[in-house]
């Protein structure tokens, strides 16, 4: 295992059309009843708020997933080839995937999320904790 000398690239394929987003938001707020798409809540602050929500006793999915990974991580590792790339859709804080690093031993980690700035910050921290993982 070698240590990365530089941070892996951060690739952002989608770039917002701010005028279209503004028009969508205004149309939703002027509708009866008013509404907005959840995507407008996933900025850095909204992502941190969601992380806090996942810690509440009433929010069970995070604990359930963690228990599944704990109980079946070794079974997962037996069927996932060593050195595979771990692709994480809806990565958020990347905590779930990071729990799998020791058992799956991926060669690379690709995190995908709607909250670009939050993901970028999270990946920088994760890279410091796992410098050998691209």
82 — pLDDT class (breaks 50, 70, 90): confident
The pLDDT tens digits of the residues spanning 61-79 come to 989 998 999 999 999 999 9
pTM: 0.74
pLDDT for the residue 39: 82
Phi-psi region of 25 (alpha: psi -120 to 50; beta: other; left: phi over 0): alpha
pLDDT for the residue 79: 95
The residue whose two tokens read 């994760």 is: 126
- Mean pLDDT computed over every residue of the chain: 88
The pLDDT tens digits of the residues spanning 13-22 come to 777 788 998 9
Residue 39 neighbours by CB under 8 Å, 6+ apart = 114
Contact in structure between 73 and 86 (CB atoms under 8 Å): no
The residue whose two tokens read 């900025």 is: 43
d(CA 132, CA 8): 10
> Which of residues 126 and 14 earns the better pLDDT score?
126
Cα-Cα-Cα-Cα dihedral of 38, 59, 93, 42, to 10°?
10
Contact in structure between 47 and 92 (CB atoms under 8 Å): yes
The predicted model gives 16-45 an average pLDDT of 89
The predicted model gives 23-51 an average pLDDT of 90
CA 49 to chain centre: 14
pLDDT for the residue 7: 64
> Six-digit token pair at 14?
């989608």
């Amino acid at each position: 295992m070698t240590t990365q000398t530089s941070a892996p690239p951060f690739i952002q394929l989608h770039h917002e059309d701010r005028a279209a987003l503004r028009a969508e938001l205004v149309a939703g707020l002027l509708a009866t009843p008013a509404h907005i798409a959840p995507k407008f809540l996933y900025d850095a602050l909204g992502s941190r708020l969601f992380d806090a929500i996942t810690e509440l006793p009433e929010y069970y999915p995070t604990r359930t997933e963690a228990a599944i990974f704990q109980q079946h991580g070794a079974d997962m590792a037996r069927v996932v080839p060593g050195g595979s790339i771990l692709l994480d859709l809806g990565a958020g804080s990347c905590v779930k995937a990071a729990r799998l690093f020791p058992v799956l031993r991926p060669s690379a980690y690709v995190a995908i999320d709607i909250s670009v700035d939050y993901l970028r910050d999270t990946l920088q921290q994760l890279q410091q904790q796992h410098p050998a993982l691209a």
